[in-house]
Amino acid sequence: MTAAVLSARGISKSFGHVRVLDNVDFEVRQGEIHTLVGGNGAGKSTLMKILIGAYSPDEGTYEVQGREVSFDSIQAARQAGVGMVFQEFSLVPTLTVAQNVFLAREPRNRARLLDDRQSERRTRELFRMLDVEVDLRRRLDELPTSYWQLTEIAKALSQDARILIMDEPTAALAKTETDQLFALMRRLKEQGISIVYISHRMEEVFEVGDRITILRDGRKVLTEGTRALTITQVIDHIVGRKLEEAMAWKARETPPQTDALLEIRNLCSGKLQGVDLEVKQGEIVGLAGLMGSGRSELARAIFGIDPIDSGEVVIRSRPVKIRSPRDAVGVGIGLIPEDRRAQGLILDHTLKQNFLLPLLKRLLIGLGFLDDRKGDRLARSFVERLAIRTPSIDHPIELLSGGNQQKVVIAKWLATEPQLLLMDEPTAGVDIGTKGEIVTMIRDFADAGNAVIIISSELPELLAVSDRVVILRGGRVVRTLPRAEIRSEEDLHHAVQGVG
């Protein structure tokens, strides 16, 4: 048994009167991939942020390489060889990929001026390790979210970390990119680098992890070798009860109607070229495709974020002009964006303030005043309906777990009573129990006669919820598959890849 390179003892942490970690022990051995799992709000990210100096513990101690430490900053942790790929991006959108990788650590030439060529050369080597092609001179805000995640990983690797913490690194990656990342992690492991891997995706945990630690409600439930556990056992420990298989596909009790709710005719927008798509009332349509296929771009165009160059959008047989998100909301369209923190929430506002943003007009009672009591009742009703874990509706949204933040994003759009819901990676960073709740919510929403377009890099999720799966490649629809004709995840994966 190899020695522990990182160990924590009795770690406790509270935010206000909410105790998020309670006497947690955790250790990582040299050259192992140690997976950390638990439900939303279990304390995973908080524990890791304590270990890299972003938070201070209320109680407990921790050691790195046998030496007791107490990092007062992320920079101090980096100098000790501990790096982290955060679930929330720590990048500057207006800078290039290479500039972000070496931000605040820019190589300089003999004249002490910034050496962009050296930054690009070293960044190119890192992305070559990841086996990913990307224009290093492109600004991040010109690239899909998946490239942001890869840039975060390259940034951490560039800092010579011997202990690397990855918080949901595959949330925005397609399967091929995930496989490349896992191959890289195994190479790093062979070099003696220790990795803490946080994920809600059980199949990934068992594919890549050596040991598993499970947290529930801020307490450690167990630490065990991966081979000694089954997925069912881990899920039961995470949720604290037996969980029905909500992610299994089953024929809809309320089948889609024959009338189309949405029709897209020959739509062109950016990389999208001549897209045709029809979604019936009561139908759930999944969009699948590799990174850069145009999935998110299609949702952005329908919602009025990206301009439509040509083509037609028809809602319930009536052509509509959508030039902005305001126009989209006006015709009954809601969007759950790909990046909830950057696009779906205002982090320094409360839960209630975020929830009520799309509903302000409905709450006006004259002279610009809002009906606060009605707003409070509405917010509390959706907190209860979606089982959002929060001390109160006035709690800062940035202090909620990722899954509860996602529930707030979904809740605020459901409250607008849309007829079409666009959902881009709706369960990214969401635990298995909440994932099942969201799947049930999607089905209930469609059963009421509405329609859903869901985009997901998780093929099992698409297979669980979709009536049809539409595959995009190069900005075009290349194939449409009825769910009943898709025999397995492997078949869908081959179709996305263009194989067979």
What is the reported pLDDT for 241? 57
pLDDT band at 1 (very low <50, low <70, confident <90, very high): low
Distance CA 43, CA 52 (A): 15
Neighbours of 56 (CB within 10 A): 11
> Is 87 a residue whose pLDDT tops 70?
no
At residue 132, does pLDDT exceed 70?
yes
Q: Check whether residue 212 and residue 271 sit in a common domain.
A: no
Averaged pLDDT for residues 49-72: 91
What is the rounded average pLDDT for all residues in the chain? 88
Hunting for tokens 């390790």 — which residue is that? 129
Give the pLDDT mean for 9-32: 91
Task: Determine, yes or no, domain membership for 252.
Answer: no
* 75: CATH: 3.40.50.300
87 vs 224: which has the higher pLDDT: 224
Mean pLDDT value across residues 140-155:
83
The answer to whether residues 234 and 285 belong to one domain is no
Same domain, 153 and 24: yes
Ramachandran angles phi, psi of 437, nearest 5°: -65, -40
User: DSSP E strands: which ranges in 16-107?
Assistant: 18-29, 33-38, 59-64, 67-69, 82-85
Query: How far is it between the farthest Cα atoms of the chain?
Result: 71
Query: Residue 301 and residue 295: Cα distance in Å, rounded?
Result: 10
Question: What pLDDT shows up at residue 488?
Answer: 82
Q: Are residues 32 and 117 in the same domain?
A: yes
71: domain range? 4-239
Sign of the CA dihedral 159, 32, 184, 424? negative
Structurally, how many domains does the chain consist of? 2
Q: Strand order in 451-455's β-sheet?
A: 333-336, 420-424, 451-455, 284-288, 468-473, 476-482
Task: Report the pLDDT averaged over residues 62-86.
Answer: 88
Do 216 and 307 share a domain, yes or no? no
357 and 312 share one domain:
yes
Residue 79 covered by a domain: yes
pLDDT digits (tens, 9 = 90+) for 362-403: 888 877 788 999 999 999 999 998 888 888 999 999 888 878
The larger pLDDT score, comparing residue 242 to residue 431, is at: 431
Q: Are residues 223 and 300 in the same domain?
A: no
Residue 310, class by beta-carbon neighbours within 10 Å (0-12 exposed, 13-18 middle, 19+ buried)?
A: exposed
CA contacts within 13 A on the Cβ side of 498: 8
With a cut of 90, say whether residue 445 has pLDDT above it.
yes
Average pLDDT over residues 94-104: 91
Predicted confidence (pLDDT) at residue 406 exceeds the cutoff of 80: yes
Beta strand 451-455 with 284-288 is parallel
Same domain, 264 and 183: no
Amino acid in the structure at residue 215:
L
Evaluate if residue 500 carries a pLDDT over 60: no
**Is 56 in contact with 31 (CB distance < 8 Å)?**
no
Confidence tier at 291 by pLDDT (50, 70, 90): confident
For 438-454, the DSSP string reads: HHHHHHHHHHTT-EEEE
> Is 451 among the domain residues?
yes
Of 237-241, 412-416, 461-465, which one has max mean pLDDT?
412-416
Residue 157 has pLDDT above 90, yes or no: no
pLDDT band at 253 (very low <50, low <70, confident <90, very high): confident
**Same-domain pairing of 218 and 267:** no
Percent of the chain with pLDDT over 70: 96
Q: What is the pLDDT of residue 5?
A: 93
pLDDT confidence of 104, banded at 50, 70, 90? confident
Q: Are residues 233 and 265 in the same domain?
A: no
Say what the pLDDT of residue 450 is: 95
Q: Which DSSP symbol is given to 343?
A: I
CA dihedral angle for residue 165, residue 170, residue 171, residue 174, rounded to 10 degrees? 170
Nearby residues of 161 by Cβ (< 8 Å), 6 or more positions away = 78, 81, 82, 83, 193
Residue 472 · residue 288 · CB < 8 Å: yes
Burial letters 128-158, b for 16+ CB under 10 A, else e: ebbebebebeeebeebbbbbbbbbbbbbbbb
- Helix, strand, coil content of the chain in percent (nearest 5): 35, 25, 35
Q: Does one domain contain both 227 and 274?
A: no
In a domain, 246, yes or no: no
Confidence of residue 247 (pLDDT cuts 50, 70, 90): low
pLDDT confidence of residue 26:
96
CA distance 344 to 450: 22
Say whether pLDDT at 173 is over 80. Answer: no
Question: Is residue 54 situated within a structural domain?
Answer: yes
In which residue are the tokens 């947290």 written?
215
Least confident interval from 33-37, 44-48, 94-98, 142-146: 142-146
